[in-house]
Amino acid sequence: MTKTANITIDGKTVDLPVKSGVIGPDVVDIGKLYAQTGAFTYDPGFMSTASCESAITYIDGDQGVLLYRGYPIEQLAEHGDFLETCYLLLEGDLPNAAQKADFDYRVTRHTMVHEQMARFHQGFRRDAHPMAVMVGCVGAMAAFYHDSTDINDPYQRMVASMRMIAKMPTLAAMAYKYTVGQPFVYPKNDLDYTSNFLRMCYAVPCEEYQVNPIISRALDRIFILHADHEQNASTSTVRLAGSSGANPFACIAAGIACLWGPAHGGANEAALAMLAEIGDVRNIPDFISRVKDKKDHTRLMGFGHRVYKNYDPRAKLMQQTCHQVLRELGVKDDPLLDVAMELERIALSDEYFIERKLYPNVDFYSGITLKAMGFPVSMFTVLFAVARTVGWISQWKEMIQDPAQKIGRPRQLYIGSPPRDYIPVSKRA
């Protein structure tokens, strides 16, 4: 049965089609509302607005469910690896053994970056934030890989996708090496994706670097947890940038810029800074009072989510991974972990957080985990960007292939001056 909604504006009623997805809330299609009534809808922050159709990721925020192409995140994190998750997001299904071997091979063969990229880095200050370096270098990829910027050519789109997934760890490791003043380490193709990344970050020319398989597996799982999250701010940025026909490297650079903000991917850095600022479990009550004080503007970083009004399923997995990594590295007492666990316990039993349905999100435990792995705080959001690249690319590709795709062009409610005449400067008061 076709559903419709109706709306009455100034006495005129129009019927609006209602569309149903496979699961999740219906959407009211308001595409023709302006033509029929002369009115726009108003929804700052997209609180009730679906911006596209998508078959990639599904979130049920009330139940704490996250599915990639229908598969629960818990199963992928437990049994899958990051590259097969990439294949799944990009192609729509898990690869069979031959497809997996071929995909892994192709990604691995794209890991090197143009040698001039190394010289491009020299233009940055040594103390540049690695996210600033990433925004610049990923945008610059359009200049180095011009032969994969024609968005209308499916082959070029595929090559750009492979390049981006494969080269992002190399660029991320270069951004890190540059800030610590160490030589760049070339990728090594006999290593898996995540081990290769760890080696590019931590190897030095004067000694062999042994990848710890437990740490590599833990980081691979962290990558899986961050790989996609439907129409979040950075993904919507990528789609909006791409809707004008911009090349994929420019679109992903735009996504990285958006991810950097503390309300989004920058929250992992901000959460660790917050735990360090609290410093001791005895300071938690004071901190919680500041968070609850409306005049203070302090937020509990790594808590709350626009969509999850129940425990973020990624946070549960991240907490397990955190304990596993600390155990493996022999970190017996991490004061930041003590603060985090006590903060979580107190917040989850506090009326302020219960009422607002605020739970830990993926960023609450990721900082502690990445810090234990040896990453400086400034690299946390870079690691998020490495993992999210496949999500951005998959969503961008889906958008380009969607026959309904149009340039993204929101409207506005104008609240400025009414029309007025120009006054020569000599006559202005």
Residues binding ligand CMC (CB under 6 A): 229, 232, 263-265, 267, 291, 299-306, 356, 358, 361-363
Indicate if the alpha-carbon torsion angle 249, 233, 25, 403 is positive or negative.
negative
Whether 184 contacts 172, CB under 8 Å: no
Q: Which two tokens stand for residue 107?
A: 């990604």
DSSP lists the bridge partners of residue 145 as: none
| Least distance (Å) between residue 94 CB and ligand CMC | 24
**Tokens 């420019």 belong to residue:** 250
| Least distance (Å) between residue 413 CB and ligand CMC | 19
Nearer to ligand CMC by Cβ, of 39 and 276: the residue is 276
Distance CA 6, CA 16 (A): 6
Q: Which one is catalytic: 104, 192, 305, 312? A: 305
Q: Is 77 helix (H, G, I), strand (E, B) or coil?
A: helix
Max intra-chain CA distance, the chain: 79
The CB-nearest residue to ligand CMC is: 304
- Concerning whether 297 is annotated as a catalytic residue, the answer is no
Which one, of 22, 101, 18, 102, lies nearest residue 56 by Cα?
22
Distance CA 186, CA 237 (A): 31
Nearer to ligand CMC by Cβ, of 358 and 379: the residue is 358
| Least distance (Å) between residue 352 CB and ligand CMC | 7
| Least distance (Å) between residue 226 CB and ligand CMC | 8
Nearer to ligand CMC by Cβ, of 9 and 263: the residue is 263
Strands (E), 45-135: 57-60, 65-68, 71-72
| Least distance (Å) between residue 56 CB and ligand CMC | 15
| Least distance (Å) between residue 301 CB and ligand CMC | 5
Distance CA 35, CA 27 (A): 19
Distance CA 170, CA 306 (A): 32
Residues near 348 by Cβ (< 8 Å), separated by ≥ 6? 354, 359
Nearer to ligand CMC by Cβ, of 223 and 303: the residue is 303
- Count the alpha carbons within 13 Å of 416 in the hemisphere toward its beta carbon: 4
| Least distance (Å) between residue 55 CB and ligand CMC | 20
Q: Which one is catalytic: 81, 192, 220, 363? A: 363
Distance CA 15, CA 177 (A): 59
Nearer to ligand CMC by Cβ, of 301 and 370: the residue is 301
CA angle, 367 then 368 then 369, to 5°: 90
Nearer to ligand CMC by Cβ, of 189 and 289: the residue is 289
Which one, of 366, 386, 385, lies nearest residue 315 by Cα?
366
Q: In what order do the strands lie in the sheet with 57-60?
A: 57-60, 65-68, 71-72
- Concerning whether 129 is annotated as a catalytic residue, the answer is no
Nearer to ligand CMC by Cβ, of 23 and 263: the residue is 263
Residues with catalytic function: 305, 363
